[in-house]
Amino acid sequence: MKLKDKVAIITGGAMGNGLGIAKVFLKYGAKVSIFDYSNKLEETVNNLREEGYEVDGYLVDIRDKEKIKQSIEKVIEKYNKIDILINNAGVAKLTPFEETTDEIRDFHFDINIKGTWNMSQEVLPHMKDNGSIVNLSSVTGPMVADTGEVAYATTKAAILGFTKGLAAEVVKKGIRVNAILPGYIMTPMVEGIANDSDSNNPENVVKGIANGIPMGRLGTIEELGELAAFLASDEASYITGQGFVIDGGSTLPETMSVGV
């Protein structure tokens, strides 16, 4: 198993992409600690333990560096090391730019950027040679954007820059840093976007999204988890400072025309 006995921290692992990553990591033999402040954390951890996996949950708001530090110390007490950090936790609230309050802007910046910064800064002193950090960016920001996404797109573009800058700093320590740029993955965040739309039928919104993707569907959280597992594993030992798109080809078309 490619992650056997690797100790991994996954932020935002109680649901969505983070849960997909956690499931795949556990399948490959990792010992997983989920950092999340969702009320689903306990349920998720219990469900995974019932499946026979070694997993712990820590109620952590990644805006709180002291709480991060305390929780990391507990992971170190148990395992004496941290091999992998997955900076997955993130938020998205769509609002037109001119209607975006400072509070909404800071909500995105504090969790998506500062939270990733906080986690990385606190984990790195405990990460030794052959460590791996994987940050969740997005195709939104670095590659594409829609209306209402200025705050979200800004933060996800920043994550890609953060990835490259940090990779250059820690490469001599034997630590790799990469990013994943998902397109549409079927997560609670996407369901929320569909529910918040003007449509009276959120299911049709999801179908409409799928129709715009060359593969004709949204990705699964497990598919994203497989990419994260590869980047975190020794199989990716010569890869650092890179961003990997997983989007079913949604950023591929040159135009949105649908045939001749």
Structural domain count of the chain: 1
For residues 152 and 232, is the Cβ–Cβ distance under 8 A? Answer: no
Residue 258 has pLDDT above 70, yes or no: no
User: What is the mean pLDDT of the segment spanning 6-14?
Assistant: 98
Concerning whether 238 is annotated as a catalytic residue, the answer is no
Query: In the structure, what pLDDT confidence band is assigned to residue 257 with cuts at 50, 70 and 90?
Result: low
Q: Which two tokens stand for residue 88?
A: 């997955």
Residue 202 has pLDDT above 90, yes or no: no
State pLDDT tens for residues 170-181: 999 999 999 999
State pLDDT tens for residues 207-249: 989 999 999 999 999 999 999 999 999 999 999 999 999 999 9
Q: How far apart are CA 126 and CA 189, in angstroms?
A: 31
Q: What is the pLDDT of residue 259?
A: 47
Residue 201 has pLDDT above 80, yes or no: no
State pLDDT tens for residues 96-112: 999 999 999 999 999 99
Burial of 217 (0-12, 13-18, 19+ CB in 10 A): middle
Q: How far apart are CA 260 and CA 237, in angstroms?
A: 45
Q: Is residue 260 one of the residues assigned to a domain?
A: no
Q: Is residue 192 one of the residues assigned to a domain?
A: no
Which residue segment(s) compose the domain that 142 sits in? Answer: 7-183+219-246
**Lookup result for tokens 């994260």:** 228
Conformational region of residue 238, where left means phi above 0, alpha means psi within -120 to 50, and beta covers everything else: alpha
CATH number of domain containing 85 = 3.40.50.720
Q: How many residues in the chain?
A: 260
Q: Is residue 135 one of the residues assigned to a domain?
A: yes
User: What is the mean pLDDT of the segment spanning 80-92?
Assistant: 98
Q: Is residue 97 one of the residues assigned to a domain?
A: yes
Helix axes 188-196, 202-211, angle to 10 degrees: 110
Q: Read off the amino acid at residue 223.
A: E
**Lookup result for tokens 């996407």:** 190
User: What is the mean pLDDT of the segment spanning 12-39?
Assistant: 98
Q: Is residue 223 one of the residues assigned to a domain?
A: yes
What are residue 254's phi and psi, to 5 degrees?
-80, -30
Q: What is the pLDDT of residue 236?
A: 98
Query: In the structure, what pLDDT confidence band is assigned to residue 260 with cuts at 50, 70 and 90?
Result: very low
Q: Which of 28, 53, 58, 152 is catalytic?
A: 152
Strands in 131-136's sheet, in edge-to-edge order, are: 55-59, 31-36, 7-11, 84-87, 131-136, 175-182, 243-246
Q: Is residue 212 one of the residues assigned to a domain?
A: no
Q: Is residue 195 one of the residues assigned to a domain?
A: no
